[in-house]
Amino acid sequence: MRVNTNAWNRVRYGLFSPFYDVVGRLLDRGRRMSIKLVDPKPGERILIVGAGTGLDLPYLPRNADTTAVDLTPSMLRKAETRARKLDLPVTFHVMDAHRLGFPNASFDVVLLHLILAVVPDPHACIREAARVLKPDGRIAIFDKFLPDGTRPSLIRRMLGYVTDALFSDINRQLRPLLAEAGLVAVRDEPAFMGRLFRIVVASPATFDQ
């Protein structure tokens, strides 16, 4: 029986929400670096997929048109509170990252921070992110990945069963996800714990860089 499901994610992140920021802030440097690299411009439309408690919000431009979605209502309520304290205009929606309720080519920038290793189906998640991205848009990915072209060791595979049930999968690879979604990496930077956590900025493969 599969443990990582939307229903389980809603439960576990609902339980995590009261103290999520304590751990989440350890990765603030990666969030800040990712947003700096994707370089959102004034007036651009930004979508945060898996916004959680809104830890990305302090690093976004005030004059952007920002939308934030998350599966877990309790996490999103904390994000709404954070946006009010920052006096930052953000539109919030409880939404499944596998089925984004937006038209094609709606956003200039999509943030996928610590979400591709969490969702049950990362292929569906990144395809949806690419679908709602404008042809000349950018996606910023900040997450933990197995190095491309490698296989996890036995110990890492065993540990992966535990981490997948508790918080996220540590054995997903990014390159196949990008290729399936028709995206190409234009920046790929180590972010935390060597290259376990990476920041990748990607654009549609059809866009002439």
pLDDT in tens, 102-141: 999 999 999 999 999 999 999 999 999 999 999 999 999 9
- H helical segments located in 51-180: 73-86, 122-132, 154-166, 174-180
Per-residue model confidence (pLDDT) at position 19: 83
Residues 6+ apart with CB under 8 A from 159: 170
Which domains are present in the chain?
6-204 (3.40.50.150)
Mean pLDDT, residues 187-207: 86
- H helical segments located in the chain: 6-16, 20-24, 28-38, 73-86, 122-132, 154-166, 174-180
Q: Which of 152, 145, 96, 75 is CA-nearest to residue 117?
A: 145
pLDDT surpassing 70 at residue 2: no
pLDDT in tens, 75-101: 999 999 999 999 999 999 999 999 999
